[in-house]
Structure 1
Amino acid sequence: MIDFIIKSTASLFVLLAVYHLALENEKMHHFNRFYLLFAIIFSFTIPFITIEVIQEITTPFTSKNAITMEGATMTSVEDSTNYWIIAIWSIYGVITSVLLFRFIRNILKLNAKSKSGTEINYKNVNLVLLKEKTLPYTFMNSIFINETDYHNRKIEAELYTHELIHVNQKHTLDILLLETLKAVFWFNPIFIFYKKAIQLNHEFLADEKVVQSHNNVPFYQNLLITKASANQTYYLASNLNYSVTKKRLIMMTKTTSTSRAMLKKIAIAPLFSFILFFSCTKNVEQEKTSETTIKSKTPVTGIEKYFENTIFLIKDEKGNIVSDKKFSELTSEEKKNIPPPPPPRVTSVNEQENSKQLNDLKNAVSPKYVEITTVEVPENGIHNTASVNEKPTFPGGMDKFYQFVAENFKAPSQPNLKGKVYITFIVEIDGSLNDFKILRDIGYGTGKEAVRVLESCPKWIPGKINGKAVRTLYSLPITINTEQ
């Protein structure tokens, strides 16, 4: 939520600043209206956009026999209720509810006024005649005017034209949008300035149409100044007396060339791209395994190429074939028993000759089958995880195991207790766990609790060597973190 507020507010501020500096004083009011509304939509969208920039980082090569274990983390949250958060959200909810109630009440009040007064159809809009003394103002499809002024023909044609523009261009919808945002994000003053900018732009649009239709700028300017002393009407309505300032009077006589307007519109486009890139870019580090192979100095790559099409027959100590593998599937112990390839025909310390020897090795014809004898460990022998081909694992994967431990581990009531419990156990051939040993705990019964959870654990999938299940010693760190 905080990230959303920061990113959206920063974007809103930058776009509004650019509007006041570069666009507000230019006579391209339709574009400015679109710009302000789009700025709001754009700013609310960018916190949900992420542009990932992948950066490759090189890490040392890790062999297939390397073991990486991550312990499950249990966090006790029984007494961790954050009353400050509850209080803040409660205050926010109360204030927002009051503002939304006020907003809806004013809408209903204007609707009630439109029904209470006399309605007259005028150029496809409703003229609502009111008893109260008021300047003309607009809400949705209705123009509210004083009944006496209407019958005595004291309302100038320019005023009718002005209000018709508010109706036809749906300016009320812009105001309703801003008022809704002000009620929901009442703590953010940026929307107050956006409403002022949009309302002033509405007046520019209406004034422009009046000047085009009646072609009497001095009279219209004097009319605005004359009406300026009237009381302000409803804040949801568009009305004649909004911000009768020097800006409006100057704007009526100002001109903006087509080329200047187009240049500014084009110049604005990179601004959105910059904000999007600056706010949404996230650097993602992608690990790239680095395997150092110096072909001119070592024959490793040549051996792999030489045995590329060879099938290795794995035999036990009795001479029985227990499995067959390709070179890439062999363990490091099995690779030690591979007979070396035939020596190069020429031996030379010269770099060029070494390269020729390597090519000779790559192009040599390898045997179709090679037998490798391995020494079988007795069935009751205990292996560590580095010596097995297939490591023992929990049914469904280790994530499921961590979930099982986290759900069943009862953390001590001791507050602010942090540390790790180290425990070892044997995964038997049938997958059962036994011989639990606590190497280190942090007291308060954490070690015994870890043993209790593991004793209730479902059977694992046992470790295997050459496809045969073996007893495997397994170690597990469990991180304890209780917070008051």
Structure 2
Amino acid sequence: MIDFFIKSTIALCVLLGVYYLLLEKEKFHQFNRFFLVFSILFSFVLPFITIEIVQEVVSTANSTVVVPGAITANVVKDEVSIYLICAWFLYGIVTTLLFCRFAINLLKLIKKSKSGVKIKHQNATLVLLQEQTLPYTFLNTIFINELEYQNNKIETELFTHELIHVNQKHSLDIILIEVIKNVFWFNPIFIFYKKAIQLNHEFLADEKVVKSHKNVSFYQNLLLSKANQNPVYYLASNLNYSVTKKRLIMMTTTTSPSRGLFKKTILLPLFTGLVYFLCTKTVAQEIKTNNETASQKRSYSNYYDKTTFKIKNDKGVVVAEKKYKDLTLAEKKVVPNVLEGLKFPPTKEEMAAKIEKGGPETVEIDVYDPKNQKVKKEEGTIYKTVDLTENPTYPGGMESFYKFIGENYKIPVTPADVKLKGRVYINFIVEKDGSLTDFKLLRDIGYGTGEEAIRVLKLSQNWIPGKVNGEPVATMYSLPITIQSKE
């Protein structure tokens, strides 16, 4: 709910600000009417739109931390805050009072429309009232003073003005914004939207009067002469609504087609930008590495169990012999792929047969061979692990890192009926000095699981940084953490 209020309010404020800056002073009032109403509806729909931007992360067996939870961590008493109850109670009272006020005014207008003498006039119904009043409109009814009507003291410009409100159904806009105001009374932005909508209605009616009667100065003086009377009902369209300098100036304003088209066109990137900034969400998607899958990685030690690796130095001379488990990270990275010689993707039977057969008796490892070297990029580049000759690692090995995570991660407290199970995906950068920075939560399972993972990662000691040809570089690292509550 809070997310809805924040996103919708941001969109409402941005769109209303753009209206005031770009559109209000321009003479395309029908477009402005659509823009104002659409902006409100768009802002209500926007929080429910989610556009997922998939960020691929490598899924490997040795990059997943499994954090078991304890049952005691999941058992909490589900209580509703007394402050929340009071807030909802207050909201209910205020909303009820506002809707009562709305209903009373609506009933008064309906009753008044039935009380006076009715006369059909073009597409509207004139209701003649005994009371002294300026003409005002609600739905298809125009309320006017009976004596002034019978004595022909109501100027034709006034009839034209009110008929525009009827024909263009301006009352529907007012009813809509008034209902929204009653529901979201705590958000003052709708007060400004109603004022903007009503003023635009007057622009529309004024424009029609000026085009029909072609006497701007007379109409302006007419409005000013009526400017001392106030509207009776806030649900009705009234001739005297906001007889301001804006209305008088708008009657003589012109908007060039090119400027109008330009201003309308730049609204498209505005709506697109709001959707992008408020609706996009980065999520993680597991992928397999280009040169080996997680299952293949686990099989390396079995496949090369009887293989002796001859390690060459920078001069191409064999200086050591090792088993696979004793190879450094840089040396393991240039070990020949288990899949060599097999069609991709291999079947399980083919993989099993090759692993059972085992690797060659000896394999030469030359990390200094140009084909095993990586191209150094410009300073400041954040590398991916596929671009490294040595991957970053935790001092003491990744198993020590998993142990560190498991010992420090605290399962967040959840309702008693919630069992946390799933994966948390986090991206971070292992800097050249081994420090961890720029933590980004790609996906979590709620209840603060992602925030807790970031908290623990910030406690980690510096890593051994990734390297390109022996030189430390900053590396983007992806870490899935599996949360598994005990049953």
TM-score range, shorter chain: 0.5 to 0.7
Summarize the Cα distance change of 1:407–1:162 in structure 2 as closer, same or farther, 3 Å threshold: closer
Matched residue, 2:349: 326
Q: CA deviation at 1:92?
A: 0.3
Matched residue, 1:36: 36
Summarize the Cα distance change of 1:302–1:13 in structure 2 as closer, same or farther, 3 Å threshold: closer
- The TM-score, its normalising length taken from structure 2, stands at 0.63
Cα distance in 1 between the residues matched to 2:216 and 2:345: 90
Secondary structure, counterpart of 2:240 in structure 1 = coil
Question: What amino acid maps onto 1:130 in structure 2?
Answer: L
Q: CA deviation at 1:74?
A: 3.0
Q: CA deviation at 1:269?
A: 1.5
Q: CA deviation at 1:91?
A: 0.6
**Superimposed CA distance per residue, residues 214-273 of structure 1 (whole angstroms, 9 cap, x where no aligned partner):** 011111011000010113221000010000011111111111111111111112221111
1:118 lines up with 2:155 in the alignment: no
Summarize the Cα distance change of 1:216–1:296 in structure 2 as closer, same or farther, 3 Å threshold: closer
Matched residue, 1:5: 5
- The TM-score, its normalising length taken from structure 1, stands at 0.64
Matches within 5 A, 1:270-309: 270-290=269-289, 291=292, 297-302=334-339, 305=342
Matched residue, 1:17: 17
Indicate the percent of aligned positions where both proteins have the same amino acid.
Answer: 55
Matched residue, 1:61: 61
Matches within 5 A, 1:64-103: 74-77=74-77, 80-103=79-102
Secondary structure, counterpart of 2:235 in structure 1 = coil
Secondary structure, counterpart of 2:54 in structure 1 = strand
Q: CA deviation at 1:55?
A: 1.4
Summarize the Cα distance change of 1:350–1:258 in structure 2 as closer, same or farther, 3 Å threshold: closer
- Equivalent residues of 1:130, 1:145 under 8 A apart: yes
Summarize the Cα distance change of 1:245–1:52 in structure 2 as closer, same or farther, 3 Å threshold: same
- Equivalent residues of 2:68, 2:486 under 8 A apart: no
- Equivalent residues of 1:54, 1:284 under 8 A apart: yes
Summarize the Cα distance change of 1:247–1:309 in structure 2 as closer, same or farther, 3 Å threshold: closer
**Superimposed CA distance per residue, residues 373-422 of structure 1 (whole angstroms, 9 cap, x where no aligned partner):** xxxxxxxxxxxxxxxxxxxxxxxxxxxxxxxxx6699xxxxxxxxxxxxx
Matched residue, 1:160: 159
Question: What amino acid maps onto 2:206 in structure 1?
Answer: D
Q: CA deviation at 1:143?
A: 0.1
Cα distance in 1 between the residues matched to 2:39 and 2:93: 29
Cα distance in 1 between the residues matched to 2:286 and 2:341: 25
Cα distance in 1 between the residues matched to 2:242 and 2:207: 15
Cα distance in 2 between the residues matched to 1:93 and 1:36: 28
**Superimposed CA distance per residue, residues 419-451 of structure 1 (whole angstroms, 9 cap, x where no aligned partner):** xxxxxxxxxxxxxxxxxxxxxxxxxxxxxxxxx
Secondary structure, counterpart of 1:228 in structure 2 = coil
Cα distance in 2 between the residues matched to 1:3 and 1:206: 39
Question: What amino acid maps onto 1:117 in structure 2?
Answer: G
Cα distance in 2 between the residues matched to 1:238 and 1:254: 23
Secondary structure, counterpart of 2:338 in structure 1 = helix
- Equivalent residues of 1:132, 1:146 under 8 A apart: yes
Question: What amino acid maps onto 1:131 in structure 2?
Answer: Q
Summarize the Cα distance change of 1:127–1:309 in structure 2 as closer, same or farther, 3 Å threshold: closer
Cα distance in 1 between the residues matched to 2:104 and 2:81: 35
Question: What residue ranges of structure 1 are gaps of 5+ in the alignment?
Answer: 311-324, 356-405, 410-475, 480-484
Matches within 5 A, 1:208-227: 208-227=207-226
- Equivalent residues of 1:307, 1:327 under 8 A apart: no
Q: CA deviation at 1:308?
A: 9.3
Summarize the Cα distance change of 1:138–1:307 in structure 2 as closer, same or farther, 3 Å threshold: closer
Cα distance in 1 between the residues matched to 2:152 and 2:29: 31
- Equivalent residues of 1:303, 1:341 under 8 A apart: no
Question: Paired residues, what number?
Answer: 342
**Superimposed CA distance per residue, residues 120-150 of structure 1 (whole angstroms, 9 cap, x where no aligned partner):** 0000210000011000000001000000100
- Equivalent residues of 2:74, 2:418 under 8 A apart: no
Secondary structure, counterpart of 1:284 in structure 2 = strand
Summarize the Cα distance change of 1:212–1:407 in structure 2 as closer, same or farther, 3 Å threshold: closer
Cα distance in 1 between the residues matched to 2:288 and 2:271: 37
Matched residue, 2:48: 48
Matched residue, 2:469: none
Summarize the Cα distance change of 1:149–1:62 in structure 2 as closer, same or farther, 3 Å threshold: same
Cα distance in 2 between the residues matched to 1:24 and 1:253: 14
Summarize the Cα distance change of 1:306–1:174 in structure 2 as closer, same or farther, 3 Å threshold: closer
Cα distance in 1 between the residues matched to 2:163 and 2:210: 14
Q: CA deviation at 1:97?
A: 0.7
- Equivalent residues of 2:126, 2:141 under 8 A apart: yes
User: Which entry has the higher C-alpha Rg, 1 or 2?
Assistant: 1
Matched residue, 1:204: 203
Question: What amino acid maps onto 2:15 in structure 1?
Answer: L
Cα distance in 1 between the residues matched to 2:418 and 2:266: 61
Secondary structure, counterpart of 2:251 in structure 1 = helix
Secondary structure, counterpart of 1:20 in structure 2 = helix
Question: What amino acid maps onto 2:207 in structure 1?
Answer: E
**Superimposed CA distance per residue, residues 303-362 of structure 1 (whole angstroms, 9 cap, x where no aligned partner):** 78399989xxxxxxxxxxxxxx725469xxx95xx3446779xx98899x9x9xxxxxxx
- Equivalent residues of 2:123, 2:167 under 8 A apart: no
Question: What amino acid maps onto 1:270 in structure 2?
Answer: P
Matches within 5 A, 1:314-353: 326-328=349-351, 338-340=356-358
Question: What amino acid maps onto 1:298 in structure 2?
Answer: V
- Equivalent residues of 2:56, 2:286 under 8 A apart: yes
Summarize the Cα distance change of 1:309–1:165 in structure 2 as closer, same or farther, 3 Å threshold: closer
- Equivalent residues of 2:49, 2:279 under 8 A apart: yes
Summarize the Cα distance change of 1:297–1:229 in structure 2 as closer, same or farther, 3 Å threshold: closer
Matched residue, 1:189: 188
Summarize the Cα distance change of 1:231–1:51 in structure 2 as closer, same or farther, 3 Å threshold: same
Q: CA deviation at 1:77?
A: 1.7
- Equivalent residues of 2:334, 2:365 under 8 A apart: no
Matched residue, 1:146: 145
Question: What amino acid maps onto 2:108 in structure 1?
Answer: K
Cα distance in 2 between the residues matched to 1:245 and 1:408: 59
